[in-house]
């Protein structure tokens, strides 16, 4: 059963993902929450910023660290509409994020549940609690619609 707080914050991440469509970005959105308060929100900016690292999670992590004045986000939960890739999962570990909540699985590049299990890897120095599948259908449909439109 999905938690009401998780659903509300994931809806905010979905709003960020929808905003990506206006910039012709892959619609992935993220929100970082500390003590049930928003610390940062972001969408993908790889094309806009001409930056291959500007995934929604990375942009949100940077903004939250600045906002909170600490690169260690030990009390934070990251909400993201798509399962993080290896780069983003690694960044979550480096930031010491407490919890990750994601929407849709990414069977091609997901590095949390679909492949690798990076957030729970016993050889790494930090583990992230993970909840997947929150508003998965809405998150997945936004992405599927974007790629259907692009492919014609």
Catalytic residue annotation: 57
| Nearest to 29, CA basis, from 38, 46, 39, 41 | 41
CA distance 121 to 108: 19
| Nearest to 27, CA basis, from 120, 145, 133, 126 | 145
Task: In the chain, count H helices and then E strands.
Answer: 5, 5
Question: Is residue 47 left, alpha or beta, with left meaning phi > 0 and alpha meaning psi from -120 to 50?
Answer: alpha
Cβ neighbours of 68 (radius 10 Å): 16
Contact by Cβ (8 Å): 6, 131: yes
Contact by Cβ (8 Å): 29, 18: yes
């Amino acid at each position: 059963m999905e938690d009401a707080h998780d659903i509300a914050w994931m809806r905010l991440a979905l709003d960020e993902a929808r905003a990506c469509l206006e910039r012709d970005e892959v619609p992935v959105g993220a929100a970082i929450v500390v003590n049930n308060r928003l610390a940062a929100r972001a969408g993908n900016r790889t094309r806009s910023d001409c930056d291959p690292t500007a995934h929604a999670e990375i942009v949100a992590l940077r903004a939250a660290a600045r906002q909170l004045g600490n690169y260690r986000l030990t009390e934070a939960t990251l909400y993201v509409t798509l399962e993080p890739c290896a780069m983003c999962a690694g960044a979550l570990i480096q930031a010491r994020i407490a919890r990750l909540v994601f929407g849709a699985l990414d069977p091609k590049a997901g590095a949390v549940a679909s492949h690798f299990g990076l957030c729970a890897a016993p050889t790494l120095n930090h583990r992230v609690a993970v909840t997947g599948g929150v508003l998965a259908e809405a998150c997945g449909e936004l992405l599927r619609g974007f790629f259907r439109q692009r492919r014609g």
